[in-house]
Amino acid sequence: MDKEKIITLAIESSCDETSAAVLEGGRTILSNIIATQIPIHRKFGGVVPEIASRKHIINIMPVIDEALSKAGKTLDEVNQVAVTYGPGLVGALLVGVSAAKALAFSRNIPLIGVNHLEGHIFANFLSSPDLKPPFVALVVSGGHTSLVHVKDYNSFSLMGQTRDDAAGEAFDKVARVMGLPYPGGPQIDKLAQEGNPLAIDFPRALQEKGNYEFSFSGLKSAVLNYLNSMKLKKIEVNKADVAASFQHTVIEVLLAKAMDAIKETGCDTLVLAGGVAANSSLEKRLRETTAKNKVNFYYPDKILCTDNAAMIGCRGYYQSLAGKYSDLYLNAVPGLALQDLE
Ligand code: KG4
Ligand code: ZN
């Protein structure tokens, strides 16, 4: 079969978005339906796993049906099913994995288990048809922060990741103590635009050259301590300055390590991935710095930055070209990591 004509049905349910997509070949999105649960979880200030699982169960079949009908395809025309099997919330992942296994079994078509974090990186292939490995990927999502040397479509090397909180997690927690609604990342992004990024000097961890690990829990505590001490002293804080200074610190750490990783690998291309890639200042700062250093820079369209099934379909397609299929024993792996792949 012509590989450009392969129809992949992809499913994503790792956190609070139920999504299904249909791709033709590796890079053409025929549909990408995303049912978000954000308004439901906002009341609780964060994702409630039990509620997420129940909502996925309700949403999964209608979302798949809608993805097929929007793509103008029937199940008979689907050649393979790709699904996120980790990392994520176990109950949430299980809904997508079970649906994908049922479809693959009943239609007798291949099943492809996809690592969600690899999916985030591959969102860039959908947004940028000219992008090819090798490159360095900076993955910044709600649960993970990593630098990955992507040598080829199926060959990666993990350069470093966070020792504690992920960048997105820090955004969400800082926003929460500042009384901003969930998810906090976009709220901080907005508020920061009115603040002075140099107003408060927050600490940066693991600054030594050649260290590609991240740590954001000290920064998070420093922001909380700052807010508490101001409260005790009865000094009114400028929330926009706090948001801007916190965001600036995160961005400068990400930027410095990403540029070092570019030098160390000899790559001429930097790729941004994950929900925090939607941050306007991060994208702007990386774009300016890469341009100054004659490094190519790619980041996904906003809708492909946060969780969606199209990116899972793209990753699944490239796995299938390498014969990396799963069997029907595929299970959810909540703690699945980004690993070296040869
Ligand atoms: O990749 P993602 O959709 O889910 C995970 O796989 O974790 O990322 C969600 C994270 C949340 O922490 C959210 O606050 C953050 O991405 N985020 C942002 C922005 N939009 C989403 N962080 C900073 N600025 C944004 N504009
Ligand atoms: Zn994600």
How far apart CA 77 and CA 234 sit, in angstroms, is 65
* Ligand 1 and 168: CB distance under 6 A: yes
Q: What is the pLDDT of residue 207?
A: 85
Q: Which amino acid is at 57?
A: I
* Ligand 1 and 274: CB distance under 6 A: yes
pLDDT reading at 341 higher than 90: no
| 90-116 pLDDT, tens digit each | 999 999 999 999 999 999 999 999 999
- Cα angle 92, 93, 97 (rounded to 5 degrees) comes to 130
Give a three-class secondary structure readout of 284-329. HHHHHHHHHCCCEEECCCHHHHCCCHHHHHHHHHHHHHCCCCECCC
| 2-48 pLDDT, tens digit each | 999 999 999 999 999 999 999 999 999 999 999 998 889 998 988 99
pLDDT reading at 339 higher than 90: no
* Ligand 1 and 254: CB distance under 6 A: no
| 76-85 pLDDT, tens digit each | 999 999 999 9
List domains and CATH numbers for the chain. 3-121+305-321 (3.30.420.40), 133-299 (3.30.420.40)
- What value does the mean pLDDT take over residues 208-225? 93
Confidence tier at 327 by pLDDT (50, 70, 90): very high
Q: What is the pLDDT of residue 340?
A: 85
Atom of ligand 1 nearest to the CA of 116: 6
pTM: 0.95
Phi, psi of 270 (to 5 degrees): -115, 135
Distance from the alpha carbon of residue 252 to the mean position of ligand 2, in angstroms: 22
Residues with CB in 5 Å of ion ligand 2: 141, 307
**In 128-204, alpha helices (H):** 167-177, 184-192
Ligand 1, atom 4, lies closest to the CA of 142
| 244-276 pLDDT, tens digit each | 999 999 999 999 999 999 999 999 999 999 999
Instruction: Label the pairing between strands 135-140 and 296-298.
Output: unpaired
Q: What is the pLDDT of residue 267?
A: 97
